[in-house]
Structure 1
C-alpha cells in the first residue's frame, strides 16, 4: 500500500539527515524498533559501518532503544526502513543525538518532549553514550 503525497508529508514531514552517520543510526533504530533487539540487518549495517569495532555502537544503540521504549509515556513513531523521510520522533531523536554533548539543555528538553516525561536523565545518558561511541570510531553524529 502506497501513501499519497499529502499523507506522506503529514506522517513523514522531515527529510532524511544529510549526515551519513546519522543515516546509519536511523536505519539501525528503525530496524531494532520494528524487528527487535537482535535484528540481523541492523547488526549487519552497524558491522559494515564500523568494522571490527561494531560491538560498542550496536550494544549502545540497543540499550538506547530499550530505554526509550520503557521510559516513554506513549508510542514513539518510527517509519519503515525503506521510507526516504522521517517522522517527528525520528527527527527529534537524531537532533538529541547531535546535541547531547554540545547543547545538553536543548537535548534534555527535546527528550522530555519525545518521551512525555520529566525525568529523562537515564535515557539522555544512553543517548550520550551512543553519540560518544559513534564519535570515538570516527563517525560523529551531526544534525
Structure 2
C-alpha cells in the first residue's frame, strides 16, 4: 500500500477568525454541517452568544445552511469543529455573511464560487438576513 503525502495547508489554508463573533458563527456552521440543522450544540452556542434572543439567528442560520446545501452544485468542505484552521469553503461562506449587508455584489461572487452556480440568490438572501440579525443584536460578523 503506498502512502500519499497530504498537504494540510491545502486542506485548511485559512486561520480561524480572530473575532469571537465570527468564530462562534463558524463553530455553529460546522456543527450544523456535521450534526444536521437541529444540532443542539449549535443552538447552545447561539444561546450563549445572544441569550433569549438566540432564536432569530438560529433559524436564519438553519435557512442559510439549507439553501447553500440545496443550491450547491459541488461538495462543500467543512473542517471538524476542533480544527484551528478553516477550509477555503468555510472562508467563502463566512466572507459572504460578512459582506452580505454592506457589499451584496461581493457576497454574490463569493457565494457563486462556493456553490459553483450563478443561481445563488436564495443563499445570498439568507446570508444577508443572517448578517443583519447579528448586526441588529450588536454583534457584527467581522473576519
TM range (shorter): over 0.9
Residue equivalent to 2:123: 123
1:17-96 to structure 2, matched below 5 A, reads 17-96=17-96
Please provide the CA RMSD for this pair. 0.9
TM-aligned CA deviation for residue 77 of structure 1: 0.5
Residue equivalent to 1:114: 114
TM-aligned CA deviation for residue 98 of structure 1: 1.0
CA deviations over 1:84-118 (Å, ceiling 9, x no partner): 00000001111111111211111111111110111
How many angstroms apart in 1 are the aligned matches of 2:31 and 2:113? 23
Gaps of 5+ in 1: 1-5
Residue equivalent to 1:3: none
1:99-110 to structure 2, matched below 5 A, reads 99-110=99-110
TM-aligned CA deviation for residue 8 of structure 1: 2.3
Secondary structure class of the residue paired with 2:37: coil
How many angstroms apart in 2 are the aligned matches of 1:63 and 1:102? 20
How many angstroms apart in 1 are the aligned matches of 2:106 and 2:56? 26
How many angstroms apart in 2 are the aligned matches of 1:89 and 1:97? 13
How many angstroms apart in 1 are the aligned matches of 2:38 and 2:109? 30
Secondary structure class of the residue paired with 1:63: helix
Aligned length: 138
- What is the TM-score when the length of structure 2 is the normalising length? 0.93
Secondary structure class of the residue paired with 1:140: coil
How many angstroms apart in 1 are the aligned matches of 2:57 and 2:101? 16
- What is the TM-score when the length of structure 1 is the normalising length? 0.93
